Each structure stands twice: as structure tokens, then as C-alpha cells.
Amino acid sequence: MSSRTLLRLVLLVQALAALGIGAAGVHWLDLDGWQAAALGLGSVALVRLAINANNFLMAARAASPTPPAFRIGQGAALRMFWEEFSTSMLMTSWHMPRARARTRIHGSAAPPVLLVHGYGCNSGYWAYLAPRLNAARISHATLDLEPLTGDIDGYAARIEEAARQLCAQAGTAQLIVVGHSMGGLAARAWMRVHGARQVARLITLGTPHHGTCLAAFGLGTNAGQMRRMGVAGPECAWLSALAGGEASEARARITSIYSHHDNIVAPQTSSELPGARNLALGGVGHVALGRDSRVLAMVMSEIEAVRADRTAPVATQHRD
């Protein structure tokens, strides 16, 4: 089952739950139509809010110490929580259930960008970065990693196919890869198999390079490959093997962008990768890394640094 199909089923269940609660409100509480609708939709939203809050609580138990420069006050914490909740709702209820992998080519000799989503997501995760790439006339492609709960190593063939197609369509020998969460690990696993020569830069967002304690609650082989045994405990065997098979040349091509307030990657310093360029910030949740304006600006800055010698663009093409 694809993530798009699963999310549509989840939306259907939520809609049925809202209708059931609303109908109960009409029957038992003598509510009118608008009141019943508000009760049903509000109840579903509250459950989603509680799930989001629980993620922050679990991440706090396994959190790494937050450096003084990145600590935030109560007001900023509330804004962060709302941004994470609202982004999660938009991603899972609108963007990802409708998403399909796409390629957009802008004539340029500079490296194009391949966007690799994370665990439980699909190409719709890039709904906020893709418009920025289009505005800058940067060729890019998204892909959907399947099966949903598969082996991370198994995604390498899909990434290789997408990378070759994108480079061929853009007429370049190299590309830039942006990977969110598990997508960063999948890109590293792909580079281990196919080499790093074709990668001008790998930019990871909130990737648990050394595992996350919250992966213990995930389903599937890929969740098991991201587990970490306690805050100070070791990463799992798969992550150790990935690091052990990685050349220093590959590490030097990686930029790891992460938040000290990540609510899925805990400890948050798991995203720090020795030998890579590590860029930290505070006050951003895990899903919101794909929407937050500061993060998107950092990603675009890294991309533009690689693409500094790009040539003048020509006509735009669309491919699905």
C-alpha cells in the first residue's frame, strides 16, 4: 500500500468519526447542524493535537541538552508547536493524499535537485520547497519511496533510477539531493552502493544519522533501521554499518540541517554527522522543517552555493 492510499484511508476514517460524533451530538445533545459539525471536526482535531503533543513529550524524555544559543521561551515554544501541528495537518490531510511524483526541467547546465521524502511520507512533503525551486528556475524531481515500511537499502534502486532520469533530462552529470528524515539515510545508503561522484551535495533535514529513540514506536523494517537504544545508548547495527561503509569523500558532500527542538529525532544531536557540514537551529519541529521559512532559506542557500556557475535558463518543460 502506498502512503497516498493509506493517508486517504486515514482521512476517510477521520471523516466517519467526525460524522459519528456529530450525529451523536444531534441525537443526545440536541445540537443543530453547525454545532454538530463543529463538535465532530473539533473532536478529530483534538485527537490529532494530542498525538502531536505526545510526540513532543516523548522527544523531550530522550532529548539532548539544548545549547544556550538555541533555547526558546514559552511564546516561541507555543508558536513552534502550532507550526508543527498545522504543518502536519496540511501535509497529511491535503498535500500528501493528493501528491504524485513529478519532474520539472528548467534549461540550465547547473545540477538539478532530487527531493527524497522521509518515513511515512511521499512526494507531497515538498509542497513548500518546490515552489521556491520553480521561482529560482531550478530543475528538480520528486519521487515516492515504496514499499512504505520497506528496507532502506531497498530504496537505493529507486533513487538511482530517479537520479539517472533527472540528470539525463537536465543534461548534467551531477545532481543535488535533499532528503528529509529517513530520506537522508536512504540517500546515504544509495551513495554507498552507487558512489558519491554524481552527487554535488546531499542536504539532509532532520535526519537521524545516529538513530532516534522514537523509532521504537514505528512499524516496518525501515523504522527498525533507525532505532537508537536510549539517549546515551548505541545506534542500531544498520546505522553502524552505514557509517562504516561510508568514505570520507561522501561525508564531505553532506550538509545536515537540524533543529534542537525536533519532536521525532531524539536525541536531537543524532542529526550531527562527523565530517559533514552541520547547520543547527532552534524552535522548529520535525515535519515543519519542510515548511519553515528559515529552513527553506538555508536549503536554498546551500543549493545556490553549488549552482553558482549555472548558465542562463531556457524554456520550461513539464513532465509527470
d(CA 61, CA 243): 26
Q: Quick: pLDDT tens for 244-257.
A: 989 888 999 999 99
User: Do 253 and 277 meet the contact criterion of CB atoms below 8 Å apart?
Assistant: no
Q: Please give the distance of CA 189 from its chain centroid, rounded to a whole number.
A: 16
pTM for this prediction: 0.94
Contacts of 319 (CB under 8 A, 6+ apart): 102, 103, 104, 105, 169
User: Do 288 and 258 meet the contact criterion of CB atoms below 8 Å apart?
Assistant: no
Architecture of domain 1-320: 3-Layer(aba) Sandwich (3.40)
Contacts of 69 (CB under 8 A, 6+ apart): 282
Would you list the domain boundaries of the chain? Answer: 1-320
Ranges under pLDDT 70 in the chain: 309-320
pLDDT of residue 232: 73
d(CA 189, CA 80): 31
User: Do 256 and 271 meet the contact criterion of CB atoms below 8 Å apart?
Assistant: yes
Name residue, grid cell 527498525.
224
d(CA 85, CA 53): 9
- On the question of a cis peptide bond just before residue 267, with omega within 30 degrees of 0, the verdict is yes
Provide the grid cell at 164. 539517472
The SS3 call for residue 213 is helix
Alpha helices by DSSP H, listed for 123-267, are 129-135, 156-170, 182-194, 221-224, 237-244, 248-252
d(CA 173, CA 197): 9
pLDDT of residue 292: 98
